[in-house]
């Protein structure tokens, strides 16, 4: 596997580690099995991304957001994942808010710790701007 | 930047897969313009769940077949048993038994081109067809005798042009 192919797949070390966490302690994984599993999960990403991207395209939006991913998972038949991912989405947004508040504390010049780089803060701001709530469709009276 | 792991009721938001790699894979789709950070996070997390699911099912298959090592066949069987996974993944898996490709390319054996016979040589098959050409009914056309007559007057012949004159 050349470097270009490696960049287009998830690292096999991570794949192998997660598999071993799930498998019984006595179980082993063949080298071929690891490689196939690596391809499977990489294909999963492309599969979900494609479905979410199609939805964005139909709604004339350019940024794939978290709700699109949840919708794609449910649409493709991975309903269990959609539920778990929904909880993770909630947790993620909560963590993002806490992180923003945490960053704001260090804007105080009296504290010794250096503030985070501006790029991070602007990134968060840009993400918010790029995710406006979709406007409701106009209904003819 | 290492994301701080925030543990609340056992739910971890630390990612197992590198973000940059997941983003690069998502960007392989030409239709994908931009991806928000939360979408990237959710795809990464759902991929982890999918991997855990597939690993668990593969392990079950291996146990059923009384094997300690999970291999390609066990993963394939696990894929087959889950309809949504089979829909997008079964065609991607390598075939069960890979047929050996033929080493040499198949070329149709062409007949050697016959050189044209040298000029003036009669075809040999004419000798075998010669008896068929004997046709007694076929007669040679009669040869017309020349009707040209020498001029009778030698004196006029010397004076006039040598072209024969029509006496009619």
pLDDT at residue B159 greater than cutoff 90:
no
What is the average pLDDT score of chain B? 69
In a domain, B112, yes or no: no
- In a mutational test of the A interface, the residue from B25, B48, B80, B97 whose CB has the highest number of chain A CBs within 10 Å is B25
Average pLDDT of span A108-129? 50
- Give the total number of structural domains in chain B: 1
Collapsing DSSP to helix, strand or coil, B70 comes out as: strand
CB B70 within 8 A of CB A29: yes
Domain A1-45 class?
A: mainly alpha
Q: What domain range is B15 assigned to?
A: 2-92
In a domain, B36, yes or no: yes
In a domain, B45, yes or no: yes
pLDDT in tens, B63-92: 999 999 999 999 999 999 999 999 989 888
- Which has the higher per-residue pLDDT, B60 or B146? B60
Average pLDDT of span B148-152? 45
CA dist., res. A40 & res. B44, Å (int) = 14
Half-sphere exposure of A4 (CA within 13 A, CB side): 1
Taking phi first (over 0 means left), then psi (-120 to 50 degrees means alpha), and beta for anything else, what does residue B153 get?
beta
pLDDT at residue B11 greater than cutoff 90:
no
Which chain B residues in 19-58 lie under 8 Å from chain A, judged by CB atoms? 21-22, 24-26, 28-29, 31-39, 41-43, 45-52, 54-56, 58
Contact A46 B1 (CB under 8 A): no
Residue-level pLDDT at B120 = 55
Which residues in chain A are contacts of B92 at CB distance < 8 A? 39-40, 43
In a domain, B158, yes or no: no
Contact A40 B54 (CB under 8 A): yes
What is the average pLDDT score of chain A? 80
Check if B5 contacts A (Cβ < 8 Å). Answer: no
pLDDT at residue B39 greater than cutoff 90:
yes
**Domain CATH code at residue B72:** 1.10.20.10
Which chain B residues in 92-121 lie under 8 Å from chain A, judged by CB atoms? 92-94
In a domain, B21, yes or no: yes
Domain spans in chain A, listed from the N-terminal domain onward: 1-45
């Amino acid at each position: 596997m050349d470097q270009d192919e490696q960049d287009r797949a998830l690292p096999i070390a991570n794949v192998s580690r997660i598999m071993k966490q799930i498998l019984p302690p006595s179980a082993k994984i063949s080298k071929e099995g690891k490689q196939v599993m690596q391809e499977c999960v990489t294909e999963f990403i492309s599969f979900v991304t494609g479905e979410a991207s199609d939805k964005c395209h139909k709604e004339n939006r350019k940024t794939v957001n978290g709700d699109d991913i949840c919708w794609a998972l449910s649409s493709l038949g991975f309903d269990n994942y959609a539920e778990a991912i929904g909880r993770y989405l909630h947790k993620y947004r909560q963590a993002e808010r806490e992180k923003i508040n945490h960053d704001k504390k260090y804007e105080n010049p009296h504290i010794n710790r250096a503030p985070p780089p501006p790029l991070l803060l602007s990134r968060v701001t840009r993400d918010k701007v790029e995710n406006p709530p979709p406007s409701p469709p106009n209904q003819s009276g | 930047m290492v994301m701080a792991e925030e543990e609340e009721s056992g739910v971890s938001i630390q990612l197992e897969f590198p973000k940059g790699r997941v983003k690069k894979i998502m960007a392989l789709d030409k239709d994908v313009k931009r991806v928000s950070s939360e979408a990237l996070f959710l795809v990464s997390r759902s991929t982890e769940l999918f991997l855990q699911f597939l690993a668990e099912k593969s392990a079950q298959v291996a146990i059923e077949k009384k094997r300690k090592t999970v291999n390609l066949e066990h993963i394939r069987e696990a894929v087959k048993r889950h309809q949504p996974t089979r829909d997008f993944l079964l065609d991607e898996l390598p075939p069960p038994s890979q047929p050996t490709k033929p080493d040499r390319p198949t070329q149709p054996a062409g007949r050697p081109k016959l050189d044209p016979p040298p000029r003036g040589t009669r075809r040999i098959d004419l000798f075998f067809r010669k008896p068929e050409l004997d046709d007694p009914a076929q007669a040679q056309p009669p040869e017309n005798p020349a009707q040209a007559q020498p001029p009778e007057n030698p004196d006029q012949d010397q004076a006039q042009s040598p072209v024969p004159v029509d006496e009619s």
